[in-house]
């Protein structure tokens, strides 16, 4: 059977190699997350039933290899065989959308200063992490991919990683920050809190981390979680974690009881209005997640604070309106979040986190 692994498909898409990605999942499955630019035919049930005409309706660009995709890489093999029988070069994506969870791409974030920022998008899940480089040194914020991704990217720019930070204790993915710090010899910085069971350097209000000639200033922004922090780079770019997104704000309920959720939403309103929104309107916001699959287009996902003020209606609400709106709009609780939090507090990774981390992130409210 001809197959392709997720890393190869990622590499092809990043390099712009011609490939048609054909998603054969049900429309319902596809609606939660998809590979950017993929074609879709809802052929899952027909393929499972070995209907030889399951793919008859699909129109594919000629002379472009096809990669078929399903949830876990089995039914897509049937699809690939059918296409091959039609003389089309076709492979099945090994592990399907579950394996795609680890796919990533990058975009450079232009800043007025000489500090360089690379946005690393875990496109299969919507997690955004950042590599900041200045004068041979680098920092990583919210590592969600295997450490080699960050270490190799830093090496390719001539930087060595000296600082690794998380914005908060994550609930949607396993943090790779502890392992990355160990493997790169960097200092691991986390918001000051009593939850994690391993050693780290605690960050507090106003702490400053030097990265080459750049500096990251710590701004506590509780709300999404009690310990959430944002990091301001050279007074130009603001890493907001799950406090502020490009379409909305962080959900306040994941680490809270139902009664606590309202007070966390109040805290979030305070963090936004008394800390982040007081910064200059031109400050570039770099969030911890996106809620749509990120194309392989090298365009960074960012906006200025001023743009977000105009675009995100939640930011213009009074405290009581904001709390009511958040509580009314809380999305479904992400699967496995309790187990992910437990592992992140223990600082542990598991051998095969594909199933644990499967599915789109669900951290924001817009
Ligand atoms: Fe979060």
DSSP 293-319: PPPSS-----EEHHHHHHH-GGGGS-H
Q: Tell me, what's the pLDDT at 30?
A: 93
255 pLDDT above the threshold of 80: no
Q: Tell me, what's the pLDDT at 357?
A: 86
Q: What is the mean pLDDT of residues 29-37?
A: 90
Structure tokens at 271: 């963090």
H/E segment holding residue 28: helix 27-32
98: CA distance to ligand 1 center in Å?
21
Distance (Å, whole) CA 197 – CA 208? 24
Window from 137-141, 239-243, 254-258 with minimum mean pLDDT: 254-258
**pLDDT tens sequence across 270-302:** 999 999 999 999 999 999 999 888 999 999 999
Q: What is the mean pLDDT of residues 199-219?
A: 97
Torsion 272-311-130-132 (CA) sign: negative
Interacting residues of 166 by C-beta distance below 8 A, sequence separation 6+? 141, 142, 143, 175, 177, 189, 190, 191, 241
356: CA distance to ligand 1 center in Å?
16
342: CA distance to ligand 1 center in Å?
14
311: CA distance to ligand 1 center in Å?
22
Q: Answer yes or no: are the C-beta atoms of 24 and 36 closer than 8 Å.
A: no
Q: Answer yes or no: are the C-beta atoms of 73 and 6 closer than 8 Å.
A: no
165: CA distance to ligand 1 center in Å?
14
173: CA distance to ligand 1 center in Å?
9
146: CA distance to ligand 1 center in Å?
19
190: CA distance to ligand 1 center in Å?
14
Distance (Å, whole) CA 177 – CA 358? 19
361 pLDDT above the threshold of 80: no
Q: Tell me, what's the pLDDT at 352?
A: 86
Q: Answer yes or no: are the C-beta atoms of 251 and 365 closer than 8 Å.
A: yes
Q: How confident is the model at residue 248 (pLDDT cuts 50, 70, 90)?
A: very high
292: CA distance to ligand 1 center in Å?
16
15: CA distance to ligand 1 center in Å?
31
363: CA distance to ligand 1 center in Å?
6
Q: Answer yes or no: are the C-beta atoms of 240 and 230 closer than 8 Å.
A: yes
Q: Tell me, what's the pLDDT at 133?
A: 98
Above pLDDT 90, what percent of the chain? Answer: 86
227: CA distance to ligand 1 center in Å?
11
132: CA distance to ligand 1 center in Å?
21
Q: How confident is the model at residue 182 (pLDDT cuts 50, 70, 90)?
A: very high
156: CA distance to ligand 1 center in Å?
29
71: CA distance to ligand 1 center in Å?
25
172: CA distance to ligand 1 center in Å?
7
Residue-averaged pLDDT of the chain? 95
**pLDDT tens sequence across 309-359:** 999 999 999 999 999 999 999 988 887 899 999 999 999 999 888 888 877
Structure tokens at 275: 């800390």
What are the beta bridge partners of residue 218?
231
19: CA distance to ligand 1 center in Å?
34
End-to-end CA distance of the chain: 43
209: CA distance to ligand 1 center in Å?
22
246: CA distance to ligand 1 center in Å?
15
360 pLDDT above the threshold of 90: no
**pLDDT tens sequence across 55-109:** 998 999 989 999 999 999 999 999 999 999 999 999 999 999 999 988 999 999 9
Q: Answer yes or no: are the C-beta atoms of 340 and 313 closer than 8 Å.
A: no
Q: Tell me, what's the pLDDT at 32?
A: 81
366 pLDDT above the threshold of 90: no
């Amino acid at each position: 059977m001809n197959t392709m692994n997720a890393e190869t498909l990622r590499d092809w898409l990043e390099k712009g190699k011609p490939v048609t990605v054909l998603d054969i999942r049900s429309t319902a499955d596809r609606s939660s997350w998809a590979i950017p630019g993929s074609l879709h035919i809802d052929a899952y049930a027909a393929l499972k039933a070995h209907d030889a005409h399951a793919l008859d309706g699909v129109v594919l660009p000629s002379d472009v290899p096809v990669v078929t995709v399903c949830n876990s890489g089995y039914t897509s093999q049937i699809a690939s065989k059918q296409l091959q029988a039609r003389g089309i070069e076709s492979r099945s994506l090994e592990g399907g959308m579950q394996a795609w969870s680890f796919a990533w791409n990058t975009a450079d974030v232009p800043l007025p200063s000489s500090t360089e920022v690379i946005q690393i998008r875990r496109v299969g899940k919507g997690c955004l992490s950042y590599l900041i480089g200045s004068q041979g040194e680098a920092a990583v914020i919210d590592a969600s991919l295997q450490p080699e991704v960050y270490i190799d990217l830093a090496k390719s720019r001539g930087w060595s990683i000296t600082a690794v930070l998380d914005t908060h204790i994550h609930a949607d993915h396993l943090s790779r920050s502890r392992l990355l710090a160990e493997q790169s010899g960097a200092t691991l910085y986390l918001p000051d809190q009593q939850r994690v069971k391993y050693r780290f350097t605690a960050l507090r209000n106003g702490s400053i981390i030097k990265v080459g000639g750049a500096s990251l200033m710590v701004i506590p922004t509780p709300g999404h979680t009690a310990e959430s922090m944002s990091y301001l780079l050279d007074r130009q770019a603001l890493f907001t974690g799950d406090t502020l997104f490009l379409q909305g704000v962080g959900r306040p309920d994941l680490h809270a009881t139902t009664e606590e959720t309202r007070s966390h939403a109040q805290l979030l309103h305070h963090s936004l209005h008394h800390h982040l929104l007081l910064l200059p309107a031109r400050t570039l916001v770099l969030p911890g997640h996106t809620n749509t699959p990120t194309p392989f287009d090298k365009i960074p996902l960012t906006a200025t604070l001023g743009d977000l003020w105009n675009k995100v209606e939640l930011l213009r609400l009074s405290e009581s309106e904001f709390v009511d709106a958040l509580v009314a709009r809380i999305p479904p609780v992400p699967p496995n979040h309790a187990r992910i939090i437990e592992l992140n507090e223990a600082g542990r990774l598991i051998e095969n986190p594909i199933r644990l981390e499967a599915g789109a992130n669900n951290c924001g409210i817009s």
